[in-house]
């Protein structure tokens, strides 16, 4: 989880530096923020899918 926090910190810094602009760097930072924020949900989804495919009960 620490890496996610570092990534979000870097992304926030990029957004601060590009505030008020319509640059490719700003657009990329916004997209990356979405990926980082969704990452825990993707991991949970993959875990649940793996359990279903193995015929296991889903553990939340």
Q: Where are the domains of the chain?
A: 2-53
DSSP code for 19:
T
pLDDT over 90 percentage in the chain: 25
Of 15, 47, 44, 46, nearest to 31 (Cα)?
Answer: 15
Output the average pLDDT for the chain: 82
The token pair at 21 is 């602009």
pTM for the full model?
Answer: 0.60
Rounded CA-CA distance 49/32 in Å is: 24
Predicted confidence (pLDDT) at residue 6 exceeds the cutoff of 90? no
What is the per-residue pLDDT across 10-38, written as a single tens digit (0 to 9) for each?
989 999 999 999 999 999 988 888 887 77
Predicted confidence (pLDDT) at residue 48 exceeds the cutoff of 70? yes
pLDDT of residue 59: 64
Alpha-helix runs per DSSP H in 1-60: 2-17, 24-53
Which residue bears the tokens 């949970």?
44
């Amino acid at each position: 989880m620490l890496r996610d926090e570092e990534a979000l910190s870097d992304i926030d810094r990029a957004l601060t530096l590009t505030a008020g602009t319509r640059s490719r760097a700003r657009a990329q930072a916004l997209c990356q923020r979405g990926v980082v924020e969704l990452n825990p949900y993707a991991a949970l989804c993959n875990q649940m899918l793996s359990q279903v495919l193995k015929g296991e009960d889903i553990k939340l």
